[in-house]
Amino acid sequence: MTSSNPADRNEDAVRLIIGFSPRSASDTMASALAPELEKALDRPVVLDRHMGEDGVVAARALMDAPPDGRHLLIVTLGTHALNPAVAAVPPYDPVADFTPVALLMRTPLVLGVAPTLPVSSVAELVALGRSRRLAFGCSAAIGAPRLAAELFGRDAGLDLHAAVYARTEDLYADLAAGRIDASFNNPMTMLPLFREGRARGIATTGPARLPAAPSLPTMAECGFADFAVENWVGIVGPKGLPPARAQALSEAIRAALGTPSMARTFGRLGLDASSSAGAAEFAAYLRDQVARWAPVAPVLRAA
C-alpha cells in the first residue's frame, strides 16, 4: 500500500519523492500511479513529499539519495525546464544531475475564471484587464501556470498580478470565492471545478482543443496565434543510476500506465495516455524542453 508516513517505509520500498502539494499535477499523477506501480514492481511504493522552493527541495532530496533504483523523483516543466533557467545560480543541472526514467504525461493547461467574474471569453477577459489589474492564481512562482499567466499578460499587453500559492487547494478556494480572477492550471483538477460551477473555463493552451473539454477554444483560436504552453510530468532517478536499472524501472512504469485502472484514471482526469514515453524518449524530450524554454523562462524572474 502506498504511504506518505516515513514510519511505513521499509528497505524494499521505492521512495517516490514529490515536491508539490495535493491537487498539483505532480501529486495527482504520483498518487494515481503509485498503486499500479506497486503491482508492477511487486514492492511497496512510498509517496515522500518534500515541498518547498518550487520543487528544488525535493530535487535536492533525490540528489542526496543513492542511485539504487529505490529513490525516484516526480519532475515537471517547472522543476526541470524553467527553474534552472530562472535562478541566478542554478540549483542543479536538469540533464546531467539526474537519470531520466519515464515521461508520465503531457498536457495543455486550461484557463479558468472566477464564477463571479463577468466574462465568458478570452476577449472579454482582456477587455476587463484593460480596465483594472487582474489577479492570476499560480501554483508556484516557477512553473507552467505562472509561465502561461506571464506570457498571456505580455502578449495581451496587460499588467497582471501573479498570486503565488504554496498549496493548489488554497488557490482553487480563492478562485471559487472570487478572491482572485483567473488561473491557468492543470486540467486534472481544474475541469472538476468547471463541472461543479466553482470556476468558468474559457480556453486551453494546447495546439488543439482538449478532448475532455471540447467546448474550450485554444488560445490560438482566441487570437493568440503563437501561444502554447504544455505542462508535463515525468520520473527521474539520481545521477549514476545504472542504465539497466533505469530501463527496468521505465518498463515497470510503462506497464503500470497501461493498466485498465490507469486508462480509466487518464480518462477521468482528461489526459492522453499516449503522451507517455520511456527512458530514452524522455531523455530526448527533456533536452528539447530545456533548450526551448531557456530563452523564455526569464519572464518569471520578476516575482
Q: Is the dihedral of CA 206, 284, 100, 297 positive or negative?
A: negative
Among 213, 165, 215, smallest CA distance to 191 is for 213
pLDDT digits (tens, 9 = 90+) for 47-83: 999 999 989 999 999 999 999 999 999 999 999 999 9
Tell me which residues of the chain have a pLDDT lower than 70.
1-11, 302-303
φ, ψ dihedrals at 272, nearest 5°: -105, 110
User: What's the burial of 164, exposed, middle or buried (CB within 10 Å: 0-12/13-18/19+)?
Assistant: middle
| pLDDT given at position 87 | 86
Give me the pLDDT at residue 257, please: 93
Q: What is the pTM of this model?
A: 0.89
Distance between CA atoms of 82 and 90, rounded to whole angstroms? 10
CATH superfamily ID and name for 110-204: Periplasmic binding protein-like II (3.40.190.10)
Q: Give the pLDDT of residue 143.
A: 92
Write down the pLDDT at residue 179: 98
Do the domains 6-106+231-300 and 110-204 sit in the same CATH topology, yes or no? yes
| Predicted local distance difference test score (pLDDT) of residue 264 | 87
CB 142 within 8 A of CB 53: no
Of the candidate CATH numbers 3.40.640.10, 3.40.190.150, 3.40.1010.10, 2.60.40.10, the domain formed by 6-106+231-300 belongs to: 3.40.190.150
Q: Where are the domains of the chain?
A: 6-106+231-300, 110-204
Are β-strands 230-238 and 98-108 bridged in parallel, bridged antiparallel, or unpaired? antiparallel
